Amino acid sequence: MPNPFQTLGSEAADDSSSKVPFPVSDTERTLLIKNESFVYRIPPQTKAVGWKATEWNLDKPDWKGKMRLIGKGKVAEIKLEELGSNKLFASCPIETYPGPAVQQVVDSSRYFVIKVVEEGGKSAHLGLGFADRSDSFDLNTTLHDHFKGLKVEEQIEKEIEEPPEKLDLALKEGETIKVSINIPRKSRTKSPATRTGAGLSLAPAPGPAGALPAPPSASLAKLNISKRPPPAPSGGSQQWIQF
């Protein structure tokens, strides 16, 4: 497919028999590859709200090819390459993310605006999109993980070169420590066994099996004596039970 951007530079075609696909140097590693990506020529940004993909001609991309994201030292780079020949179409160096090099549009999660570098050091903004939403998600996540990992490595290197100062917790001469210990006092209240409820009396404990009941009190005996039992009928009872 011919290059629609005349000002964008590309590498000269090499002999395919001697060219090694995805050449990487000692400091370059491939982070992500998407074989289907779309590039759009976009108008310059005129509003502060950001770019909108609906203003592009999404049905007719200006370029189709492979997107390869690489990590190179402390930076990353998006390389747009021709399928099959791996010929470079455009590249987007990324020093920070989120940042001005790669920006998401305000009306879609499938499209980005990338700042590509042309021949002579000039730059231009292009629209980058994917057919599948998961591809754009992978690009976003991989960029976040790459720069987050760089920050962690920088922090580790800083701690190795300048280890954190250890805290001196030893007592200096003449210093003392005052410790306050709160010891609860013992309760002086009587135990439940010695307490007596107001207006309550406990029933006597039952005696052993076979024991006779205690005699009634004087007042109860007086009541029982005043009530004499009725006399027995003369002649005895006529109702007997024979065994």
User: Along the 243 residues of the chain, how does pLDDT read in single tens digits?
Assistant: 555 555 554 444 444 333 334 343 457 899 999 999 999 999 887 777 788 998 898 999 999 999 999 998 889 999 999 988 999 999 999 999 999 999 999 999 899 999 998 777 788 999 999 988 999 999 999 999 999 988 887 778 777 777 667 777 777 777 787 777 877 777 665 555 555 544 555 555 555 555 556 666 555 555 555 555 566 555 555 555 454
d(CA 187, CA 199): 25
Q: How many domains does the chain have?
A: 1
In a domain, 214, yes or no: no
In this structure, what CATH number is given to the domain that contains residue 143?
2.30.29.30
Give bridge partners of residue 46 from the DSSP assignment: none
Residue 213 belongs to a domain: no
* DSSP β-bridge partners for residue 49: none
Domain assignment of residue 40, given as a range: 28-161
Non-local CB neighbours of 31 within 8 Å, separated by 6+ positions: 69, 70, 71, 76, 142, 146
Residue 86 counted as domain residue: yes
Q: Is 133 contained in some domain? A: yes
Using DSSP, state whether 146 is helix, strand or coil: helix
**Is 124 a domain residue?**
yes
Is 96 inside a domain boundary? yes
